[in-house]
Amino acid sequence: MTLIYILLGLIALLGLAYVFRLGGQAATGNKPFFRDMPFGVAFGYVLAAALLLFSVWYFFQPTETDGVPRAGVIFFRWAVQGFLMFAAAAYLFRLLGRSVGTEGSKKLFRSMPLTAAFGIMIIIVYAIVSIFAGVIAPYGQEEVLGAANIVPGGNPAIGGNPEYPLGTDQIGRDILSRLIFGAQNTVGIAFVTTCLAFLLGGSLGFLAATLGGWLDQLLSRAVDALMAIPALIFALLLITIATAWAGSASWQVTIYMILIIAVIDSTRVFRLSRAVGQNIVVMDYIEAAKLRGEGLPYLIFREMLPNAYAPLLAEFGLRFCFVFLTIASLSFLGVGIQPPLADWGTMVRDLSQFINFAAFAPNVAVAPLLAAGAIALLTVAVNFVVDWMLHKSSGLKE
Amino acid sequence: MSEPLLKIRNLWIEGRSDETWNPIINGVDLDLNKGEVIGLIGESGAGKSTIGLASMGFTRDGVRISQGSVVFDGVDLVTASAADKRALLGKRIAYVAQSAAASFNPAHKLMDQHTEGPVQHSVSSKGESTEDGIELYRRLRLPNPEEIGFRYPHQVSGGQLQRAMTAMAMACRPDLIIFDEPTTALDVTTQIEVLASIRDIVEQFDTAAIYITHDLAVVAQMADKIKVLLKGDEVEEADTRTMLSQPKEEYTKSLWAVRSFERPAKPSVITGSTPVVSVKNVTAAYGTTDVLHDVSFDIHEGRTVAVVGESGSGKSTTARCITGLLPPRLGHIEFDGMQLPLDYRKRDKMQLRQAQMIYQMADTALNPRKTIGETIGRPVEFYLGLKGKEKRAKVDALLDEIELEPSQYRDRLPSELSGGQKQRIGIARALAAEPKFIICDEVTSALDQLVAEGILKLLAKLQDQLGLSYMFITHDLATVRAISDEVVVMKDGKVVEQGEKAEMFQPPHHPYTDLLLSSVPEMDPDWLDDLLKERGVDNIGDAAVDKM
């Protein structure tokens, strides 16, 4: 039955698209825009308009029927409100950047798309939060407070408490404080790990590209061997071994985890920097430098590296997100960052069963989504910034 | 007179950069009758290709036709609908691109790509157009016409690919073909073959053509009339013979005069003096295949030795042996009478400094992330040990020497320079080492003729001032005539002939030298006809090489 409705809707849209194009041709006196418009494009316009209308209609639906909350409408509203809020904040942030600061930074902000402004804003906020976590957080990350399982939202009518705006977890720790400390732990560790992976993979990759021969073979085959094992399972295996070595000292487990993820991820960086390096090393200016008698460090750091910034930077952004997600996954599985340290992955795991409440108590289901949202937000923000930097450095114009 | 086949009136084209529309073509008119060939010439950036594409009603991304009309057989292509244009393009108007190698789809056989047009336009069935394709290949004198169409593009040589593309353009028997520099990427000997076959087929089918090129001698062979363009403006248009014999405008005259640059002959070398560079019986191999066989020649102080030959003849490999990038298998290199280590890694700073190199592609020879000052400053610092103010003064002096204003160019990146300026920076970087000997590897072949002439004059001036010796690798004999003192002709990794320039341009020649010399197009419209008559129809280009 539903299928028939979908089919009928599609046919109606196709008809509308045809009418839209015909109408456009008639109304504009056959301007090339409408005259040469393929049918698919016309359909796209009509579909987009229909979706927009539907979302507006859905947004203004009542949030509950007969006392039962309608989870779909509530979550949709939150999503739209969040989206608009972030867009507005990013717009204001860009406006601020355009009017405050040096001539150079103003110019930078003027040429910046809104997505990049959003990304930079989020990254700055995360950086501030993780650096000053101890000052900002209302409670300690390990502090067990009075009541457990207080619902986020601070509304006493549905089980909230204004003292804990985002509620408390299953043993009564403040979720807001743990989110803030989680930024410090998760983001900080991910950043260190990514830097290590780049240092290792990047330098070995360039070395392999420049020298070639047996060194290249040796390194590349070693990397192939490492890459042949699924990354997460490999990491799990190694961390299990490391945990046995570390004994009871949980900070040692964290150090081992950083090293293990750095090595596993450096294989991807190695592949990229070797490929990029091989394209650069055949350039005539490298040959000119070699014939001048330049040494290896000059070749790699002064001649090659500046030309590899763009792809490496893009990879750094992506790699950071992957490392970050790997740490969260490991923590979710219980082998990553060790309790009682707060970590977003662990938080999602601990509160995950509340997802089941989504259908009838949307506020309760939010608890695990907060940490997941924090992860998603940062990932999106980093990618926006990296996209923009790539676009800029590749010299592409709009 | 009847209505012309293609009538362009007051064509204005704009390109978008930095958020504004800038004019590229400023009101150009063009008339082309059936069966007529018009040559469009000008430097790069003159708008030749843009006009070529616009005559199909097409513009590249970020470019638009702002006003004017392009009327092809009664249809204005500027305002025609996409569907109307589709019916014309490929069927009645065809296009032959500059680089056939980049324009064929490497994943499909030539014949499959050939038959696509006729089948799409319902001109003929797949079988018919395959037969027709074989016939066209035969008329274009491709080897094995029955079989060559069933190869993939990478299995066919560049010149053959260019002819296959011409055949593809002819597949629907169009009324108009646009040739966009079809022979620029080819060797002289191959070029003749392509030129002759293009001209034949255009004549046979009475096709009109727009022939875009920057090589005047080529256009003289191909076109009935010539239009000269400069920065989007028409300079003048006239019948080919009139244009060649009595150009009206100053700019046209300067274009015509480029080929007459020739430096005075120098006194011959005193016998017994030690040459600056001496290549002694060098045999070199890539892997296990020998690519150079017993190559020997000397380069004396203050003289230019031109090494000539078609691609694959071992010119650049010889240069790699001299610089030490490819250590020779047998033989050795002497510098000022001293034997050099074969591998560049074993040479000391002084030995490396004495021999510098200027590259063909200035784009890849300059690090795009370094400013001009850094690029030139590095050898100054590295070899001469100058730092800070001294280094800066030296860089400025070098920029003065290559005729670029230091304050204006010092802090620019290579991407902010034109092709000719980049090549000058390459020269300055070589000079910065204060060498005795410079290898110039096809330094002018990627440049426009006027710009190339400027570079040649600069090199000649520097040689006179600093007593430099050049090894000048080129395939262009006009360049050889302009700058060299001695000539070394190479073929298949062997030296076939060498001697003073004056001797080399006088008969008797080695048959290969003769072929090379006679293949260089001349500014005489009858040159190609005469040459073909002399060689016989089947004995041109590759065919002639094979017979030797």
Hey, which residues 14-53 in chain A have their CB within 8 Å of chain B? 32, 35-36
Cα torsion B518, B519, B520, B521 to 10°: value is 100
In a domain, B526, yes or no: yes
Q: Are residues B357 and B238 in the same domain?
A: no
Residue B355 near residue B277 (C-beta atoms within 8 A): yes
Q: What is the CATH number of the domain that holds B287?
A: 3.40.50.300
State the ipTM, two decimals. Answer: 0.76
A-B Cβ pairs (cutoff 8 Å, strict): 56
Which residues of chain B does A25 touch, with a Cβ-Cβ cutoff of 8 Å?
A: none
DSSP per residue over A32-81, as a string? Answer: HHHHT--HHHHHHHHHHHHHHHHHHHHHTS-SEETTEE-HHHHHHHHHHH
Q: CA B544: distance to chain centroid?
A: 22
Which residues of chain A does B365 touch, with a Cβ-Cβ cutoff of 8 Å?
A: 283-285, 288
Q: Are residues B414 and B366 in the same domain?
A: yes
Which residues of chain A does B433 touch, with a Cβ-Cβ cutoff of 8 Å?
A: 292
pLDDT at B543: 46
In this structure, which amino acid lies at residue B453?
E
In a domain, B480, yes or no: yes
Q: Are residues B338 and B451 in the same domain?
A: yes
Q: Are residues B156 and B189 in the same domain?
A: yes
SS3 at position B445: coil
Sheet containing B20-32, strands listed edge to edge, beginning at the edge strand earlier in sequence:
B20-32, B6-17, B63-72, B75-76
Whole-angstrom distance, CA of residue A204 vs CA of residue A207: 5
Q: Which residues contact A261 (CB under 8 A, 6 or more apart)?
A: A193, A197, A235, A323, A326, A327
- Alpha-carbon gap: B323 to the closest alpha carbon of chain A (Å): 7
pLDDT at B536: 64
Q: Which of A36, A284, A290 sits opposite B359 (nearest CB)?
A: A284
Hey, which residues 105-134 in chain A have their CB within 8 Å of chain B? none
- Alpha-carbon gap: B221 to the closest alpha carbon of chain A (Å): 36
pLDDT at B258: 65
Q: Are residues B389 and B448 in the same domain?
A: yes
pLDDT at B259: 63
pLDDT at B541: 47
Q: Indicate yes or no: CB of B368 within 8 angstroms of CB of A307.
A: yes
Q: Indicate yes or no: CB of B349 within 8 angstroms of CB of A395.
A: no
Whole-angstrom distance, CA of residue A294 vs CA of residue A286: 10
Q: Which residues lie across from B64 on neighbouring strands?
A: B14
Phi and psi, residue B38, nearest 5° = -110, 135
B310-320 exposure pattern, b = at least 16 Cβ within 10 A, e = fewer = beebbbbbbbb
In this structure, which amino acid lies at residue B319?
A
Residue B479 near residue B452 (C-beta atoms within 8 A): yes
- Alpha-carbon gap: A34 to the closest alpha carbon of chain B (Å): 10
Which pLDDT tens digits describe chain B residue by residue (548 residues)? 567 888 888 888 888 776 788 888 888 888 888 888 898 888 777 788 888 888 888 888 888 888 888 888 888 888 888 888 888 888 888 888 877 778 888 888 888 888 888 888 888 888 888 888 898 888 777 888 888 888 888 888 777 888 888 888 888 888 888 988 887 767 777 788 788 888 888 888 888 889 888 777 888 888 888 888 888 888 888 888 888 777 888 888 877 776 666 777 777 777 777 888 888 888 988 878 888 889 999 998 888 999 988 777 888 889 989 998 888 888 889 988 888 888 888 888 888 888 899 988 888 889 888 889 999 999 999 988 888 888 999 999 999 888 888 888 888 888 888 888 898 999 999 999 889 999 998 888 777 777 888 888 889 889 988 889 999 998 877 788 888 888 898 888 888 888 888 787 777 777 888 888 777 777 777 777 777 777 765 545 444 444 44
Report the run of H or E that residue A129 belongs to, with start and end: helix A114-131
In a domain, B355, yes or no: yes
pLDDT at A262: 93
Number of alpha helices (DSSP H) and beta strands (DSSP E) in chain B: 24, 20
Name the token pair of A27.
């109304």
SS3 at position A172: coil
In a domain, B80, yes or no: yes
DSSP, res B54: H
Q: How far is CA A322 from CA A6, A120, B323, B489, in A?
A: 37, 19, 46, 59
Q: Are residues B288 and B354 in the same domain?
A: yes
Selected residue of B321, B353, B367 to mutate for chain A interface (largest A Cβ count, 10 A) = B367
pLDDT at A113: 87
Q: Are residues B163 and B298 in the same domain?
A: no
Superfamily of domain A175-393: MetI-like (1.10.3720.10)
The low-confidence residues of chain A, meaning pLDDT below 70, are: 148-149, 154, 157, 159, 393-398
The structural domains of chain A, with segments of one domain joined by +, span 2-60, 175-393
Residue B356 near residue B435 (C-beta atoms within 8 A): yes
Q: How far is CA B370 from CA A209, B403, B413, B416, in A?
A: 21, 20, 6, 12
Look up the domain containing B529 and give its range: 96-222+517-548
Q: Which of B352, B365, B370 sits opposite A293 (nearest CB)?
A: B352
Q: Are residues B422 and B471 in the same domain?
A: yes
Hey, which residues 67-96 in chain B have their CB within 8 Å of chain A? 79, 81-83
Closest by alpha carbon to B463, among B354, B304, B264, B270? B304
Q: Are residues B387 and B530 in the same domain?
A: no
pLDDT at B409: 87
Sign of the Cα pseudo-torsion (B16, B17, B22, B24, in order) = negative
Tell me if chain A has a CB within 8 Å of the CB of B351. Answer: no
In a domain, B126, yes or no: yes
Beta strands at B494-500 and B330-335: parallel, antiparallel or unpaired = unpaired
In this structure, which amino acid lies at residue B108?
H
Sheet containing B93-96, strands listed edge to edge, beginning at the edge strand earlier in sequence:
B93-96, B176-180, B208-213, B37-41, B225-230, B233-239
Which residues of chain B does A36 touch, with a Cβ-Cβ cutoff of 8 Å?
A: 81-83
Q: What is the CA radius of gyration of chain B?
A: 25
- Alpha-carbon gap: A224 to the closest alpha carbon of chain B (Å): 27
Residue of A nearest to B429 (CA): A288
DSSP per residue over B199-245, as a string? Answer: HHHHHHTT-EEEEEES-HHHHHHH-SEEEEEETTEEEEEEEHHHHHH
Q: Are residues B444 and B343 in the same domain?
A: yes
Q: Indicate yes or no: CB of A292 within 8 angstroms of CB of B324.
A: no
Q: Are residues B75 and B164 in the same domain?
A: no
Whole-angstrom distance, CA of residue A92 vs CA of residue A282: 46
Task: Catalogue the E-assigned strands of B386-461.
Answer: 437-441
SS3 at position B140: coil
Which residues of chain B does A397 touch, with a Cβ-Cβ cutoff of 8 Å?
A: 17-18
Which residues of chain B does A288 touch, with a Cβ-Cβ cutoff of 8 Å?
A: 357, 359, 365, 429
Number of alpha helices (DSSP H) and beta strands (DSSP E) in chain A: 17, 2
Q: What domain count does chain B have?
A: 3
Q: Are residues B463 and B541 in the same domain?
A: no
Q: Is B144 left (phi over 0), alpha (psi -120 to 50) or beta?
A: left
Which residues of chain A does B18 touch, with a Cβ-Cβ cutoff of 8 Å?
A: 397
In a domain, B272, yes or no: no
Q: Which residues contact B479 (CB under 8 A, 6 or more apart)?
A: B306, B444, B452, B456, B472
Tell me if chain A has a CB within 8 Å of the CB of B366. Answer: yes
A95-110 exposure pattern, b = at least 16 Cβ within 10 A, e = fewer = eebbeeeeeeeeebbe
Q: How many CB atoms lie within 10 A of CB A395?
A: 9
pLDDT at A204: 93
Q: How far is CA B10 from CA B40, B226, B239, in A?
A: 17, 18, 21
